[in-house]
Chain A
């Protein structure tokens, strides 16, 4: 009853809001910044993949429009031209559309941070906006969350930067794949998120103590939430992102938990499977297949009992049965004696006799011959499956593949027309436009004709898709990536799949970033500083850049500082070669330290930071025994620049060290003198008081 009343009052409320508030805007990120869906997303951007025969981005736009968004900015990067073309043809770009869609493309976006920075730079949003990914399927009514968000902002100006929307779904729920398991600690009164962490099937979880000292006396730690990847952000969010993470986590992210409605993000194929079946089972009502909300010609289908949907022109052979939860696209022909259940079939497919399909997702123009069995698999456009093929669970046949005849594909097989070796070639330019893909296709053709009949059958075409190495374990990992963690949920590989997620969500505590990321980050920081030096960029901008890199690679604050120190200290070696003398080294380094002092000051604030900073300096110098003399000069100048304070240096010096080498370092003549000098200075200042 209460729910009903809420629903009824909703439109009125929304209208009122619109009168009071400026128009509601949304930022839709039509790129996932990861390669989860490879090799499928090699040919088609993820946002355009069909889910129940409608592109995913259409679901997202429909969701935004129905919540009253009037202006949407679609940011795309990977294959942006395809997305643009799709949107221009869709109903969203018609002049009568209540939601004005702007497409913004750039090949330079590498993370959500880049997009938000661009939003800020172009001054696109004027007030609170919705931030969603291009693969969100939802019918959640965000108006209540929006109101809460606005109220919070009114009460405490600019304190709340973001409200994330969560859906209640207990563990074991099918829309929860293990990748997305999260643990959230929240303040139950203010609904503020204190801690957000991916659970990743970890046995032990750590919560920083300080979150429980934040003044509130009621906390909730929840494991029954599903991140819908929908957030309401303030225009300041992009600016705030550059400030320290603690602040973001501590003060500024709130949450809204909804029980009604449906919201999920298609982050891997397992989720694709679940969300498709939920759509067909009408959980996302009123976004249902027969509603034809994308308003495409000839897509209207009929809905009959047991959730069987048929678009016009479907023909069904004698004795064929559509058992339940079936959606069949227009002009698809199905032969005799087929059994179809929990399946989506696209348009213009031809399916032979005696075919069994269960949880199959068959896209457009697929030919399936007689006596084929398919279980929980995805078959992309223009695939041909020949006579007698059996696809076991979690197979993927990417675009244009031919399989068979008479072959059984093992669980988790991924076949693609892209040769796995291309992977390496394309590694650097993965975000380039379609031309490159076309180019690589040509390459495939050149290499072609060498299909392995054991993999694709005697008449088959396609390669078994693998990650760069041919290792067996790596293959498993790939299947995990594309299907989520269903295949082998062992905790070790979990963190790896998290890396593939990249900066999937804001403000998440990274469990521990992989070494690769740290390396890449270090190189990036080095590049940034180099550029800063060459182009004389101001320190403030450098800080901004480093911070955005930090989000791009999901690096914690402490690590940022360590890496920064390392990069700066090694800077002269990079510039002048590793063989320079100590004197040359310090003469190069000291001006740099002076120049970048504000950068350091930004990161070194608390006493603990100083210790960390000193520890990483020590680490660097331990590697280069010959330059120990320079350490004193570095410490001296850092001290003079007020980056380090005497207490910090003293406590570092007095730390009991374990290795001989670091003890040796501490016994260095110059250092001892310096310490003595500091001690005296301290005493004298104390004496003054």
Chain B
């Protein structure tokens, strides 16, 4: 066990260093993305420019409306009908459309529009934090592009001192009124980069699988996460290991996960949720997905994850969370009314039960809160991080003023 820990820590440190070097040069990441997507970008901008101008507005609002209603309706069962990666992509694509088609003359107007639509989108499905995160990312992009057009360095904006923040107040907001001819094209290009980044997240995460999964290990996971699925499948191409899947009642997404894994010739065992603690002593590593990574480094994950995390803590089993960056949300776990999501109690107590239904209250919550101290490592598309580092990533990704939409 000890030896393993050592090895693990080195990985962690290495990751951190890698990460730091990358983060200190924000340009590098975007340059890399720009390279691989330049061809695609051109096509995007061209099609957007050629859009007929006539009923652009109604077309746009129709699209927004249908997106909203889809958001509202999604998730009649656990989580959403679509993966959150897809939601993230759709949101970003929609925001790009808004940028391209809405009427705005300067960055301030655009930010106002996006904020307004963002508020509606997040209100439509408060539990789907990805939507809000993407809105914040786009707002940040607008800020950066605006700053670049003005000629000031991003670095200066980023590192505003407390004193500067206190004295300058909302003055930077006023400055967004300046008009730049190329701003629109630049913003759209930057959003396209974001889209390309989103396309690659799962691959980027599963690329790191071999660093974490070793031969003949016993891995435990819970429910079904597309990211974890890809992560394990990627590792299985080189290594042999055993996966225990907690079924995650009442929706039992674990069954699907197990079927999918066993198709890839991974040795898979499904266990009921109640057996998590009993099996934990045999497990080398717990790898889970999550719905949201909260600002304090905690998780909002599928029901049963807290049990799993506590069991892992008890047995000192490392708990690794595979979470793409777009799941990182500036939300804290104390915001009670948006945190929870209760669905129809049908799965807990079937509607056909009869008389008892009028005598009891049944609830079917979807999410658990997992406190950060139970988590060993986050693996995101830009590398591995400890929960204590989340606050830093948060300030890289989102502008502090955008935390509240």
Contacts and interface: CB of A to CB of B under 8 A. Distances in A.
Interface of A: 1, 3-5, 7-8, 10-11, 65-66, 94-98, 139, 167-174, 224, 259-260, 262, 281-286, 291-293, 300, 302-307, 324-325
B73 A66 contact: yes
B161 interface: no
B255 A284 contact: no
B251 A4 contact: yes
A283 B77 CA distance: 12
Given A1-B252, A170-B352, A285-B76, A98 B65 contact: yes
Interface in B312-358: 336-337, 340, 342-346, 350-355, 357-358
B123 A286 contact: no
B115 to A, nearest CB: 17
A562 B65 CA distance: 57
Given A286-B75, A304-B336, 4 more contacts: A4-B252, A7-B81, A96-B65, A262-B346
B355 to A, nearest CB: 4
Interface in B47-72: 58, 61-62, 64-66, 69, 72
Q: Nearest 9 CB-CB pairs, A to B?
A: A285-B344, A96-B65, A302-B337, A174-B358, A172-B355, A170-B354, A1-B255, A285-B343, A96-B62
Contact of A3 (B65, B77, B358): B77
B76 A168 contact: no
Given A95-B58, A96-B65, A303-B342, A7 B352 contact: no
A304 B337 contact: yes
Contacts of A262: 344, 346, 351
B264 interface: no
Contacts of B358: 174
B216 interface: no
Contacts of B62: 95-96
Nearest to B66: A98
25 contacts: A1-B252, A1-B255, A4-B251, A4-B252, A5-B256, A7-B77, A7-B81, A65-B69, A98-B65, A98-B66, A139-B76, A168-B351, A170-B352, A170-B354, A281-B361, A281-B362, A282-B342, A282-B343, A282-B344, A283-B346, A285-B342, A285-B344, A286-B76, A291-B72, A300-B123
B357 A173 contact: yes
Nearest to A10: B81
Contacts of B353: 170
B37 interface: no
Contacts of A97: 65
B370 interface: no
A11 B81 CA distance: 9
Contacts of A98: 65-66, 69
Contact of B78 (A4, A292, A324): A4
B72 A173 contact: no
Given A4-B256, A8-B81, A281-B361, A293 B72 contact: yes
B253 interface: yes
Interface size class of B (residues with CB under 8 A): 35 or more
Contact of A168 (B61, B78, B340, B352): B352
B83 to A, nearest CB: 11
A31 to B, nearest CB: 27
Interface in B348-376: 350-355, 357-358, 361-364
Nearest to A171: B354
A139 B343 CA distance: 12
B261 to A, nearest CB: 14
Interface of A is mostly: loop
B81 A283 contact: no
A139 B346 CA distance: 12
B352 A259 contact: yes
Contacts of B65: 94, 96-98
Given A5-B256, A98-B66, A262-B344, A283 B351 contact: yes
A278 to B, nearest CB: 9
Contacts of A11: 81
Nearest to B347: A3
Nearest to B62: A96
A605 to B, nearest CB: 43
B357 A4 contact: no
Contacts of A5: 256
Interface centre among B61, B64, B77 (most CB of A within 10 A): B77
B350 to A, nearest CB: 8
Contacts of B337: 302-304
A7 B252 contact: no
A307 B69 contact: no
B123 to A, nearest CB: 6
Nearest to A291: B72
Given A11-B81, A286-B76, A169 B345 contact: no
Contact of B361 (A65, A284, A285, A324): A324
Nearest to A174: B358
Nearest to B338: A302
A83 B71 CA distance: 28
A96 B243 CA distance: 48
Contacts of B69: 65-66, 98
A284 B355 contact: no
Interface in B223-262: 251-253, 255-256
Given A291-B72, A304-B336, A4 B354 contact: no
A275 to B, nearest CB: 13
A173 B355 contact: yes
Contacts of A8: 81
B369 to A, nearest CB: 14
B256 A1 contact: yes
Contacts of B350: 259
Contacts of A169: 351-352, 354
A279 B168 CA distance: 50
A4 B342 contact: no
Contacts of B361: 281, 306-307, 324-325
B354 A286 contact: no
A414 B284 CA distance: 69
Interface centre among A94, A224, A281, A324 (most CB of B within 10 A): A281
A224 B342 CA distance: 28
Nearest to A96: B65
B394 to A, nearest CB: 25
Contacts of B78: 4
Nearest to A342: B361
A94 B354 CA distance: 40
B253 A4 contact: yes
Contacts of A3: 77
Contacts of B123: 292, 300
B61 A7 contact: no
Contacts of B252: 1, 4
A207 B344 CA distance: 38
Contacts of A172: 354-355
A298 to B, nearest CB: 12
A98 B73 CA distance: 14
A139 B351 CA distance: 13
A52 to B, nearest CB: 15
A229 B61 CA distance: 34
Contacts of B345: 281-283
Contacts of B81: 7-8, 10-11
Nearest to A306: B361
Interface in B130-187: none
Nearest to A95: B58
A555 B103 CA distance: 63
A262 B346 CA distance: 9
Nearest to A98: B66
A281 B252 CA distance: 22
A1 B173 CA distance: 50
